[in-house]
Structure 1
Amino acid sequence: MGTPTRSRRQLFDLPGANLTPPKTPDNSVIERKMKEIMKMSGIITINGIKYQTEMKDLEDMGELGNGTSGHVVKMLHKPSQEVIAVKQMRRSGNMEENKRIAMDLEVVLKSHDCPYIVQCLGCFITDSEVWICMELMSTCFDKLLRRLSEPIPEPVIGKVTLATVRALSYLKEMHGVIHRDVKPSNILLDDRGHVKLCDFGISGHLVNSKANTKNAGCTAYLAPERINPPDPRKPDYDIRADVWSLGITLVELATGTFPYPNCKSDFEVLSRVLQDDPPLLSDDGMFSAEFRDFVKACLAKNYHERPKYKELLEHSFLCRYMEESVDVASWFTRCTPASSPHPNHR
């Protein structure tokens, strides 16, 4: 699609390194949202039962993982004896950090009716920290790939893709939200074979179906139009940026390797995304024609040619996995060591 016209320095800065501070009105909106959410602090709902809970009612059972905005701990909710995951974040005067916390909470609390989004059980908000209590999942696909050291089978990917597209479509249609950080570490799996999307800290509200902020997700999964927008001062992209991130994720799951290997810096990855042809799945018989076509569609460099969720859900690859039964739980059991799982909620 041609080489970028801006200088190396300008290109490297684009994906969010120099975010402009939020304007004062935004800050007041964030504070108002936090105050509304604070009213629900301490109410934990487990198996349909509401518990008025204090932080001391949760027993630490060990670290699960670290994300962009906090760390996640496995905890026993003593009143119910249920083991849950708790994302713990420090509150500070940093408005960008508060914005992430408010967005993460807002999205998970509103998405309680979507089976493809990790369920929020409640939260604790104090002056110094925020705890988001979530259902405990077994692992994420990033950790699973590294543990297996081999690709994920296509039928399992079919079910993963279907759940992820349904989650993204739900966010867009029901709440006008774009995820902006689709990648293997944000797609979770439990031992029953359920696949769920998580981590909404940098999600954004769509205005007239467009996102208009520079907040960036993981550099490696950024769509070309987010790296090199026509006017960096006025970013203008839509949910098809997440479709690209999904495409990169699928190539990684299907091959077991990141599609832009041997890059020594973020800049190198960004340059290759802009200058190289999009990654494709090989036609050597390892992958079905439907799967290869689906990935090719997701990774159209010109986002105007990339399908939106309705089209993806009508694609023959996803239609097949709407009908076909795949025992994801049994596959996960077979490929998981007998030792304890490595849960993750980043």
Structure 2
Amino acid sequence: MGGNHSHQPPVFDENEEVNFDHFQILRAIGKGSFGKVCIVQKRDTKKMYAMKYMNKQKCIERDEVRNVFRELQIMQGLEHPFLVNLWYSFQDEEDMFMVVDLLLGGDLRYHLQQNVHFTEGAVKLYICELALALEYLQRYHIIHRDIKPDNILLDEHGHVHITDFNIATIVKGTEKASSMAGTKPYMAPEVFQVYVDGGPGYSYPVDWWSLGVTAYELLRGWKGRLNCDPTFELEEMILESKPLHKKKKRLAKNRSKDGTKDSCPLNGHLQQCLETVRKEFIIFNREKLRRQQGQSGQLLDPEGRAGSQQSKLQDGCNNNILAHACSRGCSS
């Protein structure tokens, strides 16, 4: 699947933008509401990553573009040992890509479903590591809003990492978040209060509430339904209408057909939305950023570059014409 068996690693210009061709696709590992995930290897460095890819047209039709952009804007300014960190983001005609740390230990929900008994010592370690990550996010004015076992991944050494920032939001100073967001069993009372009677809004403590519920669940144990399909990889290879490993040929074929497709008002509007996504998509390369800043492995300053990016965000929306332009016509 997408194999390249050459013994000599390809050489890429370090000033060239990272793109799909820079990675070897190894296997599909998951599927979620915001896209699909596969394990990839960067062809020049041989480093392994997880790559999430989201179909542009589906994101537009489901009014999910703002969530993808919000996640990108937040993640490009973060780097912490107990987060799943973003390394690269890029796009092509069909998809938006996010390349992140590869965590092979599975999420905590999976281990709960396997009836794993977490010792009190292990849970204490997890909570301490997650507390450090939440404190770091708070310094960046970020509320995650979806802390739960499903969004906590283990690495091969047994350390935890928070993932999934697509409903995270930014609050500054005494500001409060005011939209109902999250997963209900883990949501703090003040989040429900906003929905019931408007309430005063909420801030960082809602993540600590969710962390407490998660700690209780880990200690108590729980048998829930599977949130993954063991046949997914087979489906991705055989049943997927646009399989990733055939992307290069498919895009080349599509480019050769440009100008011959029939047009209609909906297609015209969709094309306009796709063009807006293409223009506004955030390109990111952490490897290149480290070289430029000359501080390999050093954490970014919360009051520096990240702050300037995050100031563009508000609760529940993106200050971008994209959100309005695409949701207005394509969700009907």
TM-score, L = length of structure 1: 0.55
Structure 2 residue aligned with 1:179? 144
Distance 1:209 1:64 in 2: 41
Tell me whether 1:250 sits opposite 2:218 in the alignment: no
Matches within 5 A, 1:314-325: none
Structure 1 residue aligned with 2:95? 129
Segments of 5+ residues of structure 1 without an aligned counterpart are 1-48, 263-346
Matches within 5 A, 1:182-261: 182-229=147-194, 232-233=197-198, 236-257=201-222
Tell me whether 1:156 sits opposite 2:112 in the alignment: no
Q: 1:75 aligns with which of 25, 40, 51?
A: 40
Structure 2 residue aligned with 1:18? none
Q: Relative contact order: is structure 1 or structure 2 higher (C-alpha 8 Å, sep ≥ 6)?
A: 2
Structure 1: which amino acid aligns with 2:221?
Answer: G
Structure 1: which amino acid aligns with 2:191?
Answer: R
Distance 1:67 1:221 in 2: 19
Segments of 5+ residues of structure 2 without an aligned counterpart are 1-13, 226-332
Structure 2 residue aligned with 1:120? 86
Deviation at 1:57, TM superposition (A): 2.7
Distance 2:15 2:176 in 1: 36
Q: 2:66 aligns with which of 96, 99, 110?
A: 99
Structure 2 residue aligned with 1:295? none
Distance 2:176 2:15 in 1: 36
CA contact (8 A) 2:142 2:170 kept: yes
Give the 3 Å change call, closer, same or farther, for CA 209–99 of structure 1 in structure 2: farther
Distance 1:145 1:67 in 2: 19
Structure 1 segments, 4+ long, off by >4 Å, are: 49-52, 230-235
Structure 1: which amino acid aligns with 2:212?
Answer: G
Deviation at 1:153, TM superposition (A): 0.9
Count of equivalent residues: 209
Structure 2 residue aligned with 1:15? none
Structure 1 residue aligned with 2:111? 144
Structure 2 residue aligned with 1:283? none
2:64 aligned counterpart, secondary structure: helix
Distance 2:214 2:200 in 1: 23
2:181 aligned counterpart, secondary structure: coil
CA contact (8 A) 2:19 2:91 kept: no
Provide Cα deviations, 1:225-277, integer angstroms capped at 9, x if missing partner: 2123376456601111111111111111111127xx99xxxxxxxxxxxxxxx
Distance 1:223 1:123 in 2: 32
CA contact (8 A) 1:202 1:215 kept: no
Distance 1:50 1:211 in 2: 41
CA contact (8 A) 2:82 2:133 kept: yes
Give the 3 Å change call, closer, same or farther, for CA 200–230 of structure 1 in structure 2: closer
Structure 2: which amino acid aligns with 1:136?
Answer: L
Deviation at 1:108, TM superposition (A): 1.7
1:229 aligned counterpart, secondary structure: helix
Provide Cα deviations, 1:161-192, integer angstroms capped at 9, x if missing partner: 1111111111111x211000000111111112
CA contact (8 A) 2:74 2:165 kept: yes
1:217 aligned counterpart, secondary structure: coil
Deviation at 1:89, TM superposition (A): 1.3
CA contact (8 A) 1:181 1:242 kept: yes
Distance 1:68 1:235 in 2: 30
Task: Report the aligned-residue RMSD.
Answer: 2.5
Percent identity between matched residues is 25
CA contact (8 A) 1:181 1:217 kept: yes
Structure 2: which amino acid aligns with 1:53?
Answer: V
